[in-house]
Amino acid sequence: MKRFFTYRKTILVICSIIACITLFTRCIHDKKEEKTVLRHFNGEQYAGSEACRNCHRAICDSFPATAHHLTSIVAEKKYIKGSFLPDRNSFVYDGHRKVVMEEREDGLFQVAYTDGKEEKAGRFDIVMGSGKKGQTYIYRKDKELFQLPVSYFTSAHSWANSPGFTPDRVSFDRNIEVRCLECHTSFARQLTATEYAPGQVLYGVECERCHGPGQKHVEFQAKNPAVRQAKFIVNPATLDRQRNLDVCALCHSGVMSSRMPAFSFLPGDDLSKFFVRNSSRIDSSNLDVHANQYGLLTSSKCFRVSGTMTCSTCHNTHVKEDGDLAVYDSKCMKCHVDINHTGCTRKVMAEGAAASCVSCHMPVKPSHNLTLLPSGRTAASPELVRSHRIAVY
């Protein structure tokens, strides 16, 4: 009998220990979950794009291939366009200095060498840019973010000196401004002018960047699946023309001066209350083809005459359309069905552009603002960007 009670006591002690461990683990987990909850300044909670999958599976399957999704992402080798292979993994400044892309046990690094001696190393923590035109990279030091000295230039298939960096020194001390994150992420919790909360970043331009924080929407629709009218979410297609354009203009209007804290603007807001932006009536010759697609589009006759044209008239942001000129041509022909180019004075056949509206009327042009210096070259090369000014050139 005594043995039975001893055995029973042992079982109770073990069960108590297991219960305590379970409770303690749950508390730790709950605290961890609390830390990852992201809220906009208005108190609305972000749900994350995966929360959209139950109702929008097709979009969630196609969207990861888009440039918007890939415009910022946690660095992994598969997302970095440049090579880490020997003889292809370095940017040479001169006979003494170079930066080598290296794969080490604790991550991927850009390592600066002077006369063969390692001077400094910065880890690839964040990839910025889909790689369609190029990529630049960020490393984190405590709560600060810094741009790495070497970027990738897609058209040259080469590592390149990062935009705005002088070629006479290797620099790891350029802070990432919040405006960069405002256009390349869906949300980031800024602590100070140069500090950001670790784990408080929604990478990529995802669902909630264009539709607003979605936790309330997700919870409502999960409890009310029969309700077909979406609640607590913004559909840009239902906004008036200017508000619809503002969603895109937030990041595609070139340099703008902020009037409010970063990430304050939400879809449906009046962008002019948050930024001092370029007027739609602007001399398009002064607009650079990089970044200010909004200004170029709104200076176009197509835009002015239509009265309804917006960015989404031609762009379906839910799928990858980059490079498929036939898709864009078909959108042109919805309005220009009666166009006859038999009398065209340009030698379009010789230029290989006979079947492409955008090749002639939205040509690829060099950017004056975005230039990169590929490895082994002495002069910077401009990035080539398709102009969004629709015109007869």
Mean pLDDT to the nearest integer, 211-226 = 96
What does the pLDDT read at residue 277?
67
Alpha carbons within 13 angstroms on the beta-carbon side of residue 267 total: 22
Task: Give the pLDDT band (50/70/90) at residue 137.
Answer: very high
State the CB neighbour count (10 A cutoff) for residue 309.
19
Q: How far apart are CA 43 and CA 238, in angstroms?
A: 24
Cβ 335 vs Cβ 328: under 8 Å: no
pLDDT bin (cut points 50, 70, 90) of residue 232 is very high
- What is the residue whose two structure tokens read 């552009």? 353
Phi, psi angles (nearest 5°) of residue 371: -130, 145
Rounded to 5°, angle at Cα 380 from 376 and 382: 130
Confidence band for 32, pLDDT divided at 50, 70 and 90: very low
**Greater confidence, 212 or 28?**
212
Burial class (CB in 10 A: 0-12, 13-18, 19+), 18: exposed
Which of 298, 301, 257 is CA-nearest to residue 281? 298
- Report which secondary-structure segment, H or E, holds 174: strand 174-175
CA angle 280, 367, 84 (to 5 degrees): 130
Q: Which of 38-47, 246-255, 371-380 has the lowest mean pLDDT?
A: 371-380
